Amino acid sequence: MSHTSIRNVFHAGLRAVVAALALCLVSSCGIYSFSGTSIQPDVKTITIPYVEYKALRVNPSLSGQFTEALQEKFRRLTSLEQVDTDGDLELVCEITGYDVKATAVTADEMASQSRLTVTVKVDFTNKKYPEDNVENKSFSAYEDFDATLSLDSVEATLCETIVEKIVEDVFNATVAQW
């Protein structure tokens, strides 16, 4: 083997060792995980009670849909055990807004686009690290739809997309701390 080949093998091996050490350090510290969360290693449980519905306009299935999506997100992306009460973390949400408004108007002053907006108020408590608490924070998301369609005909699809967006935002603001 030539001197250059030996040096290349040595550098490749050194890079592999450094990469392995860096991976061990990042994964063993327990603060960061590859799901994007920054949960301290001594935080083990979370309580996510049923999401209350307090919006004036009624959607009877949205609370259940939002609760399930939130619980599923935490089940999939964290190792936290979900408990009914007294979790190390507590995530209390309520749906405070559910509104439909025209967003685009045609030349003859008819609505051509409508927007469904959902707003959720969040209180997040970290009993072990209160500096991570998030109090009384609102998250909103919306979806536009053709105004010639009835809300009933598109509501389920719109709500599914909106819930997904808000759950992602809530997750990021609480345990991912983005």
Q: Domain map of the chain by residue range? A: 1-30, 38-176
In terms of DSSP bridges, do strands 134-146 and 81-82 run parallel, antiparallel, or are they unpaired? unpaired
Are 147 and 113 a contacting pair, CB within 8 Å? Answer: yes
Higher pLDDT, 127 or 105: 127
Query: Using one digit for the tens of pLDDT, what is the confidence trace for 135-156?
Result: 999 999 999 999 999 999 999 9
Are 96 and 55 a contacting pair, CB within 8 Å? Answer: yes
pLDDT at 164 over 70: yes
Q: What is the pLDDT of residue 29?
A: 41
Tokens standing for 37? Answer: 């969360």
Q: What is the pLDDT of residue 23?
A: 41
Instruction: Give the Cβ contact number of residue 109 at 10 Å.
Output: 6
Are 155 and 118 a contacting pair, CB within 8 Å? Answer: no
Are 155 and 62 a contacting pair, CB within 8 Å? Answer: no
Instruction: Residue 69: name the closest of 145, 176, 169, 154 by CA.
Output: 169
> What number is the average pLDDT over the span 7-24?
47
Q: Domain 38-176 belongs to what architecture?
A: 2-Layer Sandwich (3.30)
> Dihedral, CA atoms, 139, 140, 141, 142, nearest 10 degrees?
170
Query: Using one digit for the tens of pLDDT, what is the confidence trace for 26-60?
Result: 443 444 444 457 799 999 999 999 999 999 999 99
Sequence-distant (6+) residues with CB within 8 A of 169 are 139, 141
Report the alpha-carbon distance of residue 136 to residue 48 in Å, rounded.
Answer: 16
